[in-house]
Amino acid sequence: MKKSPLKIWPLGIISLLLLSACRQGERQPSQISEATNNSLSSVNETSQESTEVEAVSGASVTRRLYQEQIPYPHFTNIANAEGINNAILSYLDELSHRLIFDEGTSLDYVVLFENADFISILFEGSTIHGAYPREVKESLNLNLREMERAQLKEIIAVDEQLTALIASQLSRNLQELGTTYEAAFNHPLGELLVEISQDDSLKGQFVFTSEELTLYLSVQHALGDYLEVRIPLEMLARSL
């Protein structure tokens, strides 16, 4: 079955359409909402699983605990709520096997985007691996039409313009850290850019906000485990 492209309209940038022609289909505009501390409302609940309810673009999001320790959002009052919640739990099952959740694991989440087509959730915190804590930044970007995790190339055109912007911003970040690409990564820059443009290795390594695309690239622990590459959406106009 042919998939339709996802749709995101950044707040305040009406002229930018944040979805590529990776899939053919009719484009329909939709509004995007960024969840911030100022836009969240919470109420106390007696359930041990549910501690607060957030208002996110018309949907109700109940804060629950996975394995009694990892907070995650449970959606209601939204189309396909059951599918969304099952996808989140399936993702956390996968994440728990990769990170091996234990008493030293501390994660929380923020819902960055939610509209009729797309949800972006960032889980961040730390977990114990070996002799030291490891920073964790993992994202769930969910295609609400297909109820599948979205790849970067399904949302934005991953083209020469984007890879050039990533390389340029990455170079500036490394200069600010006083290090080189070779010291931070285990493979050449060209291979990293090929990974970004050709496969699904970034399924859990990017998020969108109303203003920018952020990539989380794994680096040596001494450099903080992750390097964030932030690219303003206005710089991506030709890729949107």
> Which helix (H) or strand (E) is 24 found in, with range?
none
Same domain, 140 and 58: yes
Q: Which CATH number covers residue 102?
A: 3.30.565
Question: What does the pLDDT read at residue 185?
Answer: 83
173 and 110 Cβ atoms separated by less than 8 Å: no
Tell me if 5 is assigned to some domain: no
The verdict on residue 96 lying in a domain is yes
Does 201 reside within a domain? yes
Q: Are residues 112 and 193 in the same domain?
A: no
Question: What is the pLDDT at residue 121?
Answer: 93
- If you search the block for the tokens 């939204």, which residue do you land on? 78
Task: Provide the domain limits for residue 210.
Answer: 151-239
Q: Which of 108, 123, 150 is the last residue of a domain?
A: 150
Report DSSP state, residue 46.
S
Model pLDDT, residue 149: 87
CA distance 237 to 16: 6
Please tell me whether residues 61 and 119 are part of one structural domain: yes
Do the domain assignments include residue 132?
A: yes
Q: Please tell me the total count of domains within the chain.
A: 2
169 and 110 inside one domain: no
Q: Mark whether 161 and 106 lie in a shared domain.
A: no
* 89 and 136 share one domain: yes
Helices (H), the chain: 81-99, 160-177, 181-184, 189-198
**Do residues 74 and 101 both lie within one domain?**
yes
**Per-residue model confidence (pLDDT) at position 6:** 57
- pLDDT-flagged residues of the chain (< 70): 1-58, 100-103, 129-132, 198-204, 237-240
Q: Are residues 169 and 136 in the same domain?
A: no
pLDDT, position 200: 55
Domain boundary among 103, 131, 150: 150
φ/ψ of 38, rounded to 5, equals -75, -25
97 with 146, same domain: the answer is yes
Domain boundary among 133, 150, 167: 150
Triad 5, 1, 32: Cα angle to 5°: 25
Based on the domain organization, do 98 and 180 belong to the same domain? no
Question: Do the beta carbons of residue 193 and residue 206 sit within 8 Å?
Answer: no
Q: Is residue 47 part of a domain?
A: no
181: in domain: yes
Flag whether the pTM goes above 0.75. no
**Assigned domain for 23 exists:** no
Q: 69 with 91, same domain?
A: yes
Burial 69-86 (b: 16+ CB within 10 A, else e): ebebbbbeebeeeeebbe
- 139 and 166 together in one domain: no
Q: Residue 148: its pLDDT value, please?
A: 87
